[in-house]
A = this chain, B = another copy of it.
Amino acid sequence: MEFTILAKDSGSKARLGKIGTPHGEVSTPVFMPVGTQGAVKALTPEQVRGLGADIILGNTYHLYLRPGHRLIADLGGLHRFMNWHGPILTDSGGFQIYSLGALRKITEGGATFQSHIDGSGHFLGPEAAVEIQEALGSDIMMCLDECIAYPAARGEVEAALGRTARWALRCKNSRRSDRQALFGIIQGGVYPDLRRRGVDQIATIGFDGYAIGGLSVGEPKELLLENLAATAPLLPDDRPRYLMGVGTPEDLVEGVHHGIDMFDCVMPTRCARNGLLFTNGEKVVIKNARYREDGAPVDSTCDCYTCQNYSRAYLRHLYMADEILAMTLNTIHNLRYYLRLMERIREAIREDRYRDFRDGFLRERSAEDKEMTSR
């Protein structure tokens, strides 16, 4: 997998780059819309592409359980199955298995867990995680990792860290070809020294890219930022850096500041379905009565299809009336907000003014938060 750094910002660790994959190029820093079950919720692939998405995420755990990776492989792979012909990154299932809580048991061999769909029993080890992702045919695969809840005792985090490293090696050894890239994942909870150890272990094995996992699992924002700042700069400079499952627009801006190249999060799509819309000003909770007769678009500065064609009053009506179209139009807006933010981020790096961009963005946000609070 090729990764080219095109520019570096002089006032921060931000980098502009591109990733070459078998299904096309990805401009970084990039936000990857989440298509958990083989679809970005409520959108066609053409709509997703039209919003400016280069690459989307698929979920190993979900697709393994339903409809099954063998079925997808038999039908020509995930790209063809879901009619998305650009790059796909598949996560390994580590985070989903962690999310199962009491329904899973982790041993050195791998994870034994019960399906959230029908309670059936399953085993997923590092080798199987790679095999499944090879069957799906994603462009970028992720190593199986052991994610730990927050808070967790240091000893527990340390044990998971060691296991994650041993699993990473097993993942790498079980690959059948290098056509699909494989990324390693750094765990370590909120202990910067364990994070550093994780970087050492994973980078020593050597991967096509490096991910920071196990953040945004309930820890305070300060700890997320502290561990991000402690980990990101240590990751190999010449490979993409991916901050998994993060986050808010502010998190993305901070992540780029610390040298992150890739992000994914369900936030824009999930919030959209709950009627929470991102804007350059205040967030819009579309069901609020104040929007009942509001003929203005969600965000007058937004170039998305929804803002170009529909009023807040119409979107509120669709939401109140439980119309499926509400999900589609809201998702279009929120994803476009995220993808446009990434465009602005890339432009700022290209023009070597990322530090100013970040400071201005966070200042505006903080002022906005204060305004919201004082209401």
Q: Is the CB of B328 within 8 A of A293?
A: no
Chain A interface residue bracket vs B:
35 or more
Interface residues of A in 282-334 (CB under 8 A from B): 292-293, 295, 305, 309-311, 313-314, 316-318, 320-321, 323-325, 327-329
Q: Is the CB of B83 within 8 A of A37?
A: no
The complex places the Cα of A293 from the Cα of B81 at a distance, in Å, of 11
Q: Within 8 Å of chain B (Cβ to Cβ): is A75?
A: yes
Q: Is the CB of B71 within 8 A of A311?
A: no
The complex places the Cα of A50 from the Cα of B250 at a distance, in Å, of 39
A73 CB to closest chain B CB (Å) equals 11
Q: Within 8 Å of chain B (Cβ to Cβ): is A44?
A: yes
Residues of chain B lying within 8 A (CB to CB) of residue A225: none
A323 interface neighbour in B41, B76, B320, B323, Cβ under 8 Å:
B41
Given that A292-B71, A317-B67 are contacting pairs, would A41 and B311 also be in contact in the complex, using a CB cutoff of 8 Å?
Answer: no
Q: Is the CB of A325 within 8 A of B75?
A: no
Q: Within 8 Å of chain B (Cβ to Cβ): is A106?
A: no
The complex places the Cα of A351 from the Cα of B62 at a distance, in Å, of 52
Select from chain B the residue with minimum beta-carbon distance to A295: B75
Q: Within 8 Å of chain B (Cβ to Cβ): is A43?
A: yes
Q: Is the CB of A37 within 8 A of B310?
A: no
The complex places the Cα of A324 from the Cα of B163 at a distance, in Å, of 38
Q: Is the CB of B37 within 8 A of A317?
A: yes
Residues of A within 8 A of B (CB): 37-39, 41-44, 62, 66-67, 71, 74-76, 81-83, 292-293, 295, 305, 309-311, 313-314, 316-318, 320-321, 323-325, 327-329
